[in-house]
Amino acid sequence: MELQNWTRALVAVTLLTLASAALDDYFDLPGPYCRDRGCCPGRQDDCSVPILGTLCYCDDFCNRTRNEDCCPDFWPHCKGIMPPEIPGPILGCTYEGIVYPVNKVVKRNCNDCKCTAISNTTAEMLCEQNACIVDPMIIDFVNNNYGVGWTASNYSEFWGRKLEEGIKLRLGTLQPQRFVMRMTPVRRIYDPHSFPREFDSEMKWPGFITHVQDQGWCGSSWAISTAAVASDRFAILSKGRERITLSAQHLISCDRRGQQSCNGGYLDRAWSYIRKFGLVDEDCFPYTASNEKCRVPRHGDLLTAKCRLPQFVDRKSKYKVAPAYRIGNETDIMFEILNSGPVQATIKVYHDFFTYKGGIYKHSSVSPDDRTGYHSIRIVGWGEEYTSEGLRKYWKVANSWGPAWGENGYFRIIRGVDECEIESFVLGTWPEIENKLLLQNEIPRVNI
């Protein structure tokens, strides 16, 4: 009898050593054991269940405070109480063919799934139900339906993020207030038939057009698109003498009145800030995708702001613009781009837009989640393309999600039908360029 006790205890010690080496595996196993096996009175060495290739027990011999035996769910099941030392019932969740222990959290795209004990004997994997930016269903639909006109892709920087975060931190333009929307568009006189079928600012003004930027996780499209359109126009109107990248961070950090920095801003307020106070350049106040403190005095010039002065023009003042103006419709927008350069536009962003990879975008309404947000971008040109749906006219637009997104950072969107409201609120501006040249002979030559 004594010897037998010894033997069983020794086996148990060996087993526990093994088991603790693989403790995670041990608890990953779905229980319960004794409930299935049944509990036995007294000592019965054959009242056992195999775990990890060795034996555990469900007999009353397990009823000891110091017990080296492996007794999986003897205490909770056979005695109805939690064991003094040995962890409780071995519960687990089987999910996608894998068994997880209770309280284990796994991430599925943007949602946490937690193996949750529902009762003393059952556990279930419970997952959050947030809409994610990347929805494989949208990608499948867009890529497998003839006639959508564009293709979709999974972006690793968007994977694992909630749609809500995308709308809050990847866009960032507050819907214009109604009185601003009613701004009368400027009147133009032109012959639309004289316009080229395709036009790209970057071809007409090579080296003058601001590169695609990446706003990061900061809802700053209001500042980025404003600074970029102003920069483009400084370069174009000055014929390359004032090629600068104006600081979007300057707007985010300093144009705080009625604005929300990385949580969005109004375009009319951004433009009126530049009109009144001017901007410094990107080198002087680089982009950090954060609400960092303003370090440019409202008044004063580039010297008071501690910026380096430009090389080729005699400028000390910050870069200011005349009041922004609104441009009315498709042909007016084309006329404006052709003559003055890229314009700022606002689009309503739907769920499917985030995964745009290429082609001519048109909202597909495939997502069950109809959350939207406003985003400002820069229209740099236009064109036409034959597709399965016939001739499609498009705008070429610079986004601010880095060059790896879309068509090298750009997207094309259907033109002439106010798709996603893109033609509803288009703005342009005149920059106050510096006319005094500093070094007549050292102006960089530019081919136009």
Q: What number of residues does the chain have? A: 448
295 binds ligand NAG (CB under 6 A): no
153 binds ligand NAG (CB under 6 A): no
Q: Which stretch binds ligand NAG (CB under 6 A): 16-24, 151-159, 212-220, 397-405?
A: 151-159
| Alpha carbons 224 and 5: distance in angstroms, whole number | 77
State which of residues 143, 272, 331, 424 lies at the interface with ligand NAG (CB under 6 A): 331
Give least dist CB 180 to ligand NAG, A.
Answer: 19
- Matching residue, tokens 């020794």: 10
State which of residues 84, 136, 196, 368 lies at the interface with ligand NAG (CB under 6 A): 136
State which of residues 94, 154, 291, 387 lies at the interface with ligand NAG (CB under 6 A): 154
116 binds ligand NAG (CB under 6 A): no
* Cβ-based nearer residue to ligand NAG, 355 or 399: 355
260 binds ligand NAG (CB under 6 A): no
Q: Are residues 265 and 247 in contact, defined by beta-carbon separation less than 8 angstroms?
A: no
Q: Are residues 401 and 376 in contact, defined by beta-carbon separation less than 8 angstroms?
A: no
State which of residues 300, 328, 383, 403 lies at the interface with ligand NAG (CB under 6 A): 328
Going by C-alpha positions, the residue among 81, 54, 80 that lies closest to residue 69 is 54
44 binds ligand NAG (CB under 6 A): no
Q: Are residues 146 and 389 in contact, defined by beta-carbon separation less than 8 angstroms?
A: no
Buried b (16+ CB within 10 A) or exposed e, 192-205: eeeeeeebbbbebb
Residues 165-194, one symbol each (x = binds ligand NAG by CB under 6 A, - = not), give: ----------------------xx------
| Alpha carbons 380 and 211: distance in angstroms, whole number | 11
Give least dist CB 152 to ligand NAG, A.
Answer: 11
State which of residues 232, 255, 268, 332 lies at the interface with ligand NAG (CB under 6 A): 332
Distances (CA, A) of 325 to 176, 226, 259, 274, 333: 14, 13, 20, 14, 12
Site for ligand NAG in 76-105 (CB under 6 A): 82
Residue 116 dihedral angles phi and psi, to the nearest 5°: -115, 130
| Alpha carbons 79 and 415: distance in angstroms, whole number | 73
State which of residues 120, 143, 263, 387 lies at the interface with ligand NAG (CB under 6 A): 120
Determine the residue with CB nearest ligand NAG: 156
At a CB cut-off of 8 Å and minimum separation 6, what does 171 contact? 219, 221, 264, 349, 373, 374, 375
State which of residues 144, 156, 441, 447 lies at the interface with ligand NAG (CB under 6 A): 156
Give least dist CB 120 to ligand NAG, A.
Answer: 4
* Cβ-based nearer residue to ligand NAG, 329 or 387: 329
| Alpha carbons 211 and 400: distance in angstroms, whole number | 9
Give least dist CB 356 to ligand NAG, A.
Answer: 15
Q: Which stretch binds ligand NAG (CB under 6 A): 154-162, 289-297, 305-313, 368-376?
A: 154-162
State which of residues 44, 54, 63, 94 lies at the interface with ligand NAG (CB under 6 A): 63
54 bridge partner residues: 51
* Cβ-based nearer residue to ligand NAG, 3 or 189: 189
Q: Which stretch binds ligand NAG (CB under 6 A): 272-280, 302-310, 325-333, 393-401?
A: 325-333
Distances (CA, A) of 104 to 30, 116, 128, 372: 13, 8, 14, 34
Distances (CA, A) of 124 to 100, 106, 380: 10, 13, 52
Give least dist CB 181 to ligand NAG, A.
Answer: 17
Going by C-alpha positions, the residue among 146, 149, 111 that lies closest to residue 131 is 111
Residues at the site binding ligand NAG, with contacts judged by CB under 6 A: 60, 63, 82, 119-120, 136, 154, 156, 159, 187-188, 328-332
